[in-house]
Structure 1
Amino acid sequence: MDLPLADGSPQPAVITAGDLRYGRECEYALLVTADVRLGLREPVPAVLDPVRDRFGDLGREYEREVTDELTEQVGGEAGDGVVDARRLDAAGVLAILDDPATRLVHQAAVRGDRFSGRADHLLRDDAGWVVAETKLARSPRPHALLQAAAYADALAGSGVRVAPFVRLILGDGTHHDAPREELAEELAEVRSRLLEVLDTHVAGGAPVAWGDPRWRACLRCDACRAELAAREDVGLVAGVRTATRLALLEAGVTTMTELAGRTAPVEGIDDTALTALRSQAGLQLTEPTPEDPLPYEVHDPAALAALPPPSEGDVFFDFEGDPLWRGATPTDQGLEYLFGSLTATGEFVPFWAHDREQERAALVGFVGWLRERLERWPDLHVFHYSPYERTALTRLAARHGVLRDEVAQILDSGVFVDLYAVVKAGVRVGSSSYSIKRLEPLYMGDELRDADGVTAGGDSIIEYQRYREAVAAGDATEAAARLEDLRQYNEYDCRSTLRLRDWLLAHAGPPAPQVTAVP
């Protein structure tokens, strides 16, 4: 967005393709950004997200790859029908598009009515110039299509003959073409709303106010989360979704404290759900102590009693995967590089994989190892946290075309037990997140992990990227150190799963009575 100041008065806003995303998702964040540029407030501190940063780096790398591939496909090089337009303004781009010798333009400045941006690629086609955007995602996203359509619309408005479709070059190498006609109505609505929001706000001359009913807020971005935290908003309570929050606000319940003390009914929320939310809010407001580092409530001991009894053969399982891994082809993405397994006797058994063939071998090795244990201990169970492990095993069997029946049989037989589902059914904790790492103060005691080393899923993704970089650089010592950090991290996760299982069993109550149907 461009909000220049002249003679103390802001000029009409000029939006960018990136601003169109705000127009669809979070008008409040858009106006916070506008206020920063107008000098009306300080920027919102960004929450560190190394995975998001890494995705950004990979996106730029992929864009460079696509640029090279398109240039090669055109059969030329820079200066031979191919133009790198990074140093050209919009007028310069229009001039080269008018040149019959130009066949491909990269990083083209585009300017239209109160709109500016830089299109990744413009390709000459019999149907006209094709606007093509490079995206690391593997499926077309609505905001990406709108961005491309906005570039095409601006070029058409400048007299350029534009193709009747726009193109996304996706992260798996596929091309997605979308008719501009199908995008025109939404583009017009989003752009019109975006300019209306900016013009109305700028004319007011004051910083945007949180809770202003004129502006949509997503409640997920950095700007929204900062406001929620500052106001102890009910949206911070675990289990409070957008519709639930709106019902609470309409009832005058705006803060976590007000929710924790609410006894009257709330229209749109049934009494059982309101009781659970009230309890959850109270737990999140309870200050931790050395004796009670994570406030909790076992609200359904019978749900914990449904856990299978311990077996000497039990396994505590956790995958480590790298969604950023790319194989030899653009469609070959994502690798499960570690099948971590801890036995009930404390033995850690890792199955490593650093390429697609090794991933297949790890799957075969893990399933074979588990089959042998089931023959010895038919009553064993594999405990994990979240549905991911079941989903990933099914996906891997299908990907490699091996053990599909065996994996399906093991999963269907109830051998795998998801402790996340058990926790959600019977326990509440004083945290807005129910990730296993947030639960660990309940049961890890002196072994609770600290902030050093690999401590979170996002950290493990970055750590594995560093391992691969060390391998590529031929630094065996660094690579081994990174891999050992990942092994320790995964083993800790498996041990945490074991301790959680034991804690749940220790807090279980009598099983729910069996109801016998009357004939």
Structure 2
Amino acid sequence: MHYPLRDGVPGPPTITASDLRAGRRCEFGLLVEADVRLGRRTAEVVEPDPVRERFGEMGREREADITARLTRQEGAAHDGSDLDHAATLRLLADPTVRLVHQASVRGERFTGRADHLLRDDEGRWIVAETKLARSAHLHALVQVAAYAQALAADGVAVAPFVRLHLGDDSVVDTPLEELTQDLTAVRSRVLEVLDTHLREGHPVVWGDPRWRACLRCDACSAEAAAVGDVGLVAGVHTSPRRLLVAAGVRTVADLAQRTEAVEGLAPESLEAMRSQARLQLIEPTRDQPLAYEVHDPAALRRLPPPSDGDVFFDFEGDPMWREGPEGTWGLEYLFGCLTTEDGERFTPFWAHDRAAEREALVDFVDWVGERRRRWPEMHVYHFADYERAALSRLATRHGVYEEEVSRLLADGVLVDLYAVVKSAVRVGSPSYSIKRLEPLYMGAELRDSDGVTAGGDSILEYQRYRDAVAEGQDALAAERLADLRQYNEYDCLSTLRLRDWLLARVG
């Protein structure tokens, strides 16, 4: 956004496609950014997110790939990145020009640069954007529709549809008329929010009911943590938070002390949220590093009896991996398995390309099948739904063992411990990730902060491993692979310790 100065006073802002996207996602975050632009607050120092930065790099690489591909197809292209708006319009009026990249776009209180403008056989301009996503999200469609609308208002003949080049190499065309209503609504709301805020002349206040807060962005997270917002309670998402705030329940402490009913919330739901808030307020001690309560012992009793053949399983994957510019995204490069019949033993199935991924799937399913024949009551324990979904996806991707994987799922061989925890136990943490649960049961084995400690770290470490391989740095590559193995093995061990901890609490 840009606030033009009139006699030294900021006037109504000109917005960008990024502002439209930000306004759809979080109006509070949009207004925090506006306050920074207006000098009403200083910008928060945000810890760099290497994964986010890497995805940003990939997005730019993807745009460069599409730019090169379209240029080859057309034989010539014009780079509009250094042209102002008037020069861009003159370029588009030249009938010999067929392709322009980074074209300047300007509409009423709107400005931006369209990734690609391609002239069709009827002389109209197809407005296109490149996105790393593999599906056409509304915010991307609204963005490209805003560019098309602004160009049309300048008298440019635009095609009746807009185009997205997606990360899976699909090309999605959407009629403009299908997007007009959404674009109008988003644009009007963003301008209304920004104009109202400018007139009021003071920084945005957390909790102002006029502005939607996503509770997840950097701006929301900082404010929520500062005031102990009720949205920090696990399970209190946008809708219940709105009902709680309307009833005067604004903080974690408010919820922990609430005894009256809250309109719109079932009594049992309110009780669960109240118990969760109370647990989160309990300070950790050496004897109790994380508060917890078992609220449904029957759910724990449904856990299968232990078997010597049980497997504790965790995938390691790289969503950024791709085999060639037109390959499918994502590689499951490690199927990690911990077993206990001969002591705690880790068995990895590695895959560093698509063919090896297929082989790892076959070897893993065969290995589990052999264990089932030896121990018919064995189970494969994992945490959260990723492992189940990934196995099904891999079987479909490679066209192998689809029936065998379906049978594992139908027979209940896979046991999701996250689902068990959520149904039976409450813990004093705003997150129920396995890393947050580990103080309950890992004891002296609790992981420290050195090395690979989170999923985002593993994604970046695998990229570093691939870079080392490409550069011929074999020792460095081996070191990074060893770190990834250790990280995965720890997750498998954590799954085992969690299973045992849950069984120990069966009443």
Specify if TM > 0.5.
yes
Q: Provide the residue aligned with 1:431 in structure 2.
A: 429
Q: Measure how far apart 1:331 and its partner are.
A: 4.6
SS, match of residue 15 in structure 1: coil
Instruction: Indicate the residue corresponding to 2:2 in structure 1.
Output: 2
Q: Which residue does 1:207 correspond to in 2? A: 203
CA distance in 1, matches of 2:324, 2:100: 27
Pick the aligned partner of 1:488 from 486, 489, 495: 486
Distance 1:360 1:502 in 2: 32
What residue in structure 1 maps to residue 80 of structure 2? 85
1:446 is the counterpart of 2:444: yes
Deviation at 1:329, TM superposition (A): 5.0
1:311 matched residue in structure 2 = 307
Q: Deviations over 1:314-356 (max 9, x none)?
A: 1100001111111235251111100000002311000000111
Say whether the 8 Å CA contact 1:316–1:497 is kept in structure 2.
Answer: yes
Q: Is 1:374–2:346 an aligned residue pair? A: no
Q: Can you list the C-alpha shifts for 1:202-233, whole angstroms capped at 9, x where unaligned?
A: 12211112222222222221111211111111
SS at match of 1:14: coil
Structure 1 position 469, deviation (Å): 1.1
For 1:32, the aligned partner's letter is V
The correspondence for 2:117, drawn from 115, 122, 134, is: 122
Query: Residue deviations 1:140-188, cap 9 Å, x none?
Result: 0111111111111111111211111111011111111111122112212
| 1:252 corresponds to 2:265 | no
* 1:95-244 alignment, distance < 5 Å: 95-127=90-122, 128-244=124-240
Structure 1 unmatched runs, 5+: 77-81, 510-519
Is this contact kept in 2: 1:171–1:330, CA < 8 A? no
Letter in 2 for 1:31: L
How many residues align? The count is: 504
2:54 and 2:335 map into 1 onto residues whose CA distance is: 24
Q: For 1:19-58, what aligned pairs fall within 5 Å after superposition?
A: 19-58=19-58
1:506 aligns with 2:504: yes
Note the alpha carbon deviations across 1:259-295, whole angstroms, 9 max, x for none.
1111222222222211111110011111111111111
Q: Give the match for residue 292 of structure 1.
A: 288
CA shift at 1:434, angstroms? 0.4
Which residue of structure 2 aligns with residue 15 of structure 1? 15
Q: Partners of 2:337 and 2:211 in 1: how far apart?
A: 49
Q: Select 1:261's aligned residue among 253, 257, 264.
A: 257
Residue 72 of structure 2 aligns to which amino acid in structure 1? E
Distance 1:214 1:306 in 2: 46
Equivalent position of 1:60 in the other structure: 60
Q: Give the TM-score normalised by structure 1.
A: 0.95
- Equivalent position to 2:470, from 469, 472, 477: 472
Q: 1:5-47 CA distances to partner (integer Å, 9 max, x unpaired)?
A: 3433112210011111123222211111111011000113335
Q: Which residue of 1 aligns with 2:383?
A: 385
Partner of 1:516: none
Is contact 1:319-1:336 (8 Å) kept?
yes
One-letter code aligned to 2:367: W
Percent identical? 66
Secondary structure (helix, strand or coil) at the match of 1:42 reads: coil
Which range moved further: 183-192 or 344-353? 183-192
**1:171 match: secondary structure:** coil
Whether the 8 Å CA contact 1:3–1:34 is kept in 2: the answer is no
Q: Which amino acid aligns with 2:78?
A: V
Give the 5 Å matches for 1:275-354. 275-328=271-324, 330-344=326-340, 345-354=343-352
Paired with 1:25 and 1:100, the residues of 2 have a C-alpha distance of: 40
Counterparts of 2:281 and 2:344, CA distance in 1: 36
TM-score by length of 2: 0.97
